[in-house]
Amino acid sequence: MIKVYNPADGSLVGEAPEMTFSEVSAAIDRTCAAFPAWSRTLAKERGAKLRRWFELVSADRQAFAELMVKENGKCLSDAMGEVAYGLGFVEWYAEEAKRVYGDTIPTHAANAAVLVTKEPIGPTASITPWNFPFMMITRKVATALAAGCTMIIKPSEETPLTAYKLLDYAREAGIPEGVFEMVTGDPKSIGEAFTSDPRIQKISFTGSTAVGKLLARNCAETLKKMTMELGGNAPFIVFDDADIDTALAGLVSAKLRNSGQVCISPNRIYVQNSIYDAFAEKLKVAVERIRVDQGFQDEFVVGPLINQSAINKVDALVADAVSHGATVLSGGALARPDSLFYKPTILTNVPDTAQVCQTEIFGPVFPLYRFDTEEEVVDRANNTEYGLVAYAYTPDLGRSFRISRNIKSGMVILNSGSVGTESVPFGGVKQSGYGREGSYYGIQEYVSVKYTLMAGL
Ligand code: ADP
């Protein structure tokens, strides 16, 4: 069995099955066998089943949130927010199932007609990370099932309990075996089973760029379609014409959500020279007001990181930045000894040569960089292999359009720290991946376009 421990205190939260190769194979077989009937099920019926799932899970949202606090460490308000966010996808795609429209195109031949139809791509598989144990499952499954695909998911071994609870409710909602399957066990061998199976038509992966590349290599043999949501290195740019307090509030909430363990977390904070010192001081006051504690609290708190290797990574990045000349303005250490709680940390005057500038931090660290001009900051913001999201604060409309156009990322967020909701296309460019999740665009990833010429009419 896979044991799941609470990162806040090391206590055992529960267990998930460690499946054998033959159990995983049997689940893949069921996923493939269920496809023909599910793809022929009326869209309205598929939508109704998703809607039922949405209602059943909605009625138990507190229990889901509490389970996430225990297995992931995020605070209760973050967890409740994730449940609402994750349920949004189920509700949205329950509706979208009926709206996978095709086209007719004016014919190019006499006595003929041209039809364009969208067909579910086939049985699909997915691998998800631990930082959003609920939303990552609902976002992928609801989209696939709405399109008429079946899906098998391997959730992260750090947070499988929320995933299995979602599966239980799906069964209760009438989503049958095979249509939605779940496996847990050795990630590498499950990954190989998914990628090597010629019947699986698509893999949707969210996780590190390194594992994403490995999966893409393994999918090459069977040429599977892929959606990749990989790492990020989000710039967060504050221009001197911005309202500092609004920018500060957006930054703190975007950064400390889930203790900074989010792929869209602001990773490089560029503040224009003339407001840099004042911004840093205000940020220090704001950050030091926030408590670091286990997640069962009425207010927002910064919870533990997921495991010891996350702590080691953050510690090493802070030490490296300091060795390159950065100053620790706040934090820079564990919040209490021998724990996974790390103090929110502000680093000032960070040089672009520090590792933290090119590495996804995944912890509560705010590295502040100075900049002078718009042109300079756009160049520096783009100087990364990643391209998931970029944030900027400015009231200047012309500058807003230039930022939107010139930043190379899948998402640009102006004057807000909030990115995700079910109605927008979430995803990246460059080594942050490809494909989109959410919105109209998300469901297009699960259909193939078929052109039919009907000649001789
Ligand atoms: P993170 O650093 O967020 O944990 P990972 O990419 O390591 O990112 O993990 C994301 C998901 O990928 C998890 O479900 C994990 O179990 C899975 N995973 C890790 N290594 C492999 C692998 N070699 N093959 C398939 N899946 C993997």
Q: Give dist(CA 218, CA 205) in Å, integer.
A: 13
Residue 183 near residue 160 (C-beta atoms within 8 A) = no
Number of Cβ within a 10 Å radius of residue 328: 16
Nearest protein CA to atom 14 of ligand 1, as residue: 156
Residue 246 is predicted with a pLDDT of: 98
| 3-class DSSP state of 330 | strand
Say whether pLDDT at 361 is over 90: yes
Nearest protein CA to atom 24 of ligand 1, as residue: 188
Q: Give dist(CA 369, CA 268) in Å, integer.
A: 7
Residue 280 is predicted with a pLDDT of: 98
Best mutation site among 190, 200, 211 for ligand 1, i.e. most ligand atoms within 8 A of its Cβ?
211
The tokens of 114 are what?
């041209």
Q: Give dist(CA 163, CA 457) in Å, integer.
A: 52
pLDDT tens-digit series, residues 69-83: 999 999 999 999 999
Residue 420 is predicted with a pLDDT of: 83
Q: If pLDDT is split at 50, 70 and 90, which confidence band does 63 have?
A: very high
The tokens of 390 are what?
């970029």
For residue 149, the CA-to-ligand 1 centroid distance in Å is 23
Best mutation site among 19, 127, 130, 226 for ligand 1, i.e. most ligand atoms within 8 A of its Cβ?
127
Number of Cβ within a 10 Å radius of residue 143: 31
For residue 387, the CA-to-ligand 1 centroid distance in Å is 20
Q: Is 229 a catalytic residue?
A: yes
pLDDT tens-digit series, residues 172-215: 999 999 999 999 999 999 999 999 999 999 999 999 999 999 99
Helices then strands, each counted (H, E), the chain: 14, 20
Q: If pLDDT is split at 50, 70 and 90, which confidence band does 254 have?
A: very high
Mean pLDDT value of segment 18-29: 98
Residue 359 is predicted with a pLDDT of: 97
Q: Tell me the sheet residues that pair with 151.
A: 124, 180
Nearest protein CA to atom 18 of ligand 1, as residue: 187
Ligand 1 nearest-atom number relative to CA 208: 6
Nearest protein CA to atom 7 of ligand 1, as residue: 208
For residue 430, the CA-to-ligand 1 centroid distance in Å is 20
Q: Give dist(CA 146, CA 124) in Å, integer.
A: 13
Residue 339 is predicted with a pLDDT of: 96
Number of Cβ within a 10 Å radius of residue 168: 11
Strands (E), 364-432: 365-371, 386-387, 389-393, 411-414, 429-430
With a Cβ cut-off of 6 Å, ligand 1 is lined by: 127-130, 154, 156-157, 187-188, 191, 207-208, 211, 214
What are the phi and psi torsion angles at 192 (to 5°)? Answer: -65, -40
| Residue of 329, 339, 246 whose CA lies nearest to 292 | 339
| 3-class DSSP state of 24 | helix
The tokens of 55 are what?
């209602």
Looking from the CA of 189 toward its CB, the CA atoms found within 13 Å total 12
Residue 427 is predicted with a pLDDT of: 98
For residue 207, the CA-to-ligand 1 centroid distance in Å is 6
The tokens of 388 are what?
């998931």
Mean pLDDT value of segment 346-368: 97
Say whether pLDDT at 260 is over 90: yes
Nearest protein CA to atom 4 of ligand 1, as residue: 129
Q: Which of 96, 229, 374, 437 is catalytic?
A: 229
Q: Give dist(CA 444, CA 143) in Å, integer.
A: 9
Q: Over the chain, what is the mean pLDDT? A: 97
What is the DSSP secondary structure assignment for residue 445, as one 8-state letter? T
Nearest protein CA to atom 15 of ligand 1, as residue: 156
Ligand 1 nearest-atom number relative to CA 156: 14
Residue 180 is predicted with a pLDDT of: 98
For residue 132, the CA-to-ligand 1 centroid distance in Å is 14
ipTM exceeds 0.95: yes
Residue 51 is predicted with a pLDDT of: 98
Best mutation site among 132, 156, 219, 228 for ligand 1, i.e. most ligand atoms within 8 A of its Cβ?
156
pLDDT tens-digit series, residues 276-299: 999 999 999 999 999 999 999 989
Say whether pLDDT at 388 is over 90: yes
Mean pLDDT value of segment 269-273: 98
291 sits in which H/E element: none
pLDDT tens-digit series, residues 130-141: 999 999 999 999
| Residue of 430, 372, 378, 380 whose CA lies nearest to 403 | 378
Mean pLDDT value of segment 14-41: 98
Q: Give dist(CA 241, CA 223) in Å, integer.
A: 49
| Entry pTM | 0.97
pLDDT tens-digit series, residues 134-165: 999 999 999 999 999 999 999 999 999 999 99
